[in-house]
Amino acid sequence: MATTTLEAKPQSARVARNFVEAMLREWDREHLSDLVTLLTSELVTNAVLHAGSALDLEVDCLRDGVRVCVHDRGEGVPVRRHVSIEATSGRGLALVDTLARRWGVDPHPPGKAVWFEVSA
């Protein structure tokens, strides 16, 4: 498992993508890079926008895939929204729900942990 702490700044999504890409290369899982970096970017962006706190990013190489977890210190639980076709935001969790093999939200006081897994 690899971890890093990120600030609650918009550029943290880019830093998270770079971190995930480096870990996937190290684990010979580059073929998952596009998918895992997209979903990671969505979770980190949500944490930055809605939790407004520093966040911890964990990336774990599983026997049959990859797991990414974003721990933030914000209150509330993310909810998949149904947005109009004209909306310019609000599709992040829908992407995670559609593209990950599974995902969830766990209490992680003083905040929560939002995670997803993808198959290798």
Buried b (16+ CB within 10 A) or exposed e, 69-102: bbbbbbeeebeeeeeeeeeeeeebbebbeeebee
Residue 86 has what pLDDT?
61
For residue 17, what are the domain limits?
2-119
What domain count does the chain have?
A: 1
* Confidence band, pLDDT 50/70/90 cuts, at residue 89: low
27: how many CB neighbours lie within 10 A of its CB? 16
pTM equals 0.90
Domain CATH code at residue 13 = 3.30.565.10
92 pLDDT exceeds 80?
no
**Cis peptide before 78, with omega less than 30 degrees from 0?**
no
- Give tens-digit pLDDT for 35-75: 999 999 999 999 998 888 899 999 999 999 999 999 999 88
Residue 83 has what pLDDT?
58
Residue 34 has what pLDDT?
97
- Residue corresponding to tokens 């897994």: 117
Chain-centroid distance of CA 27 in Å reads: 18
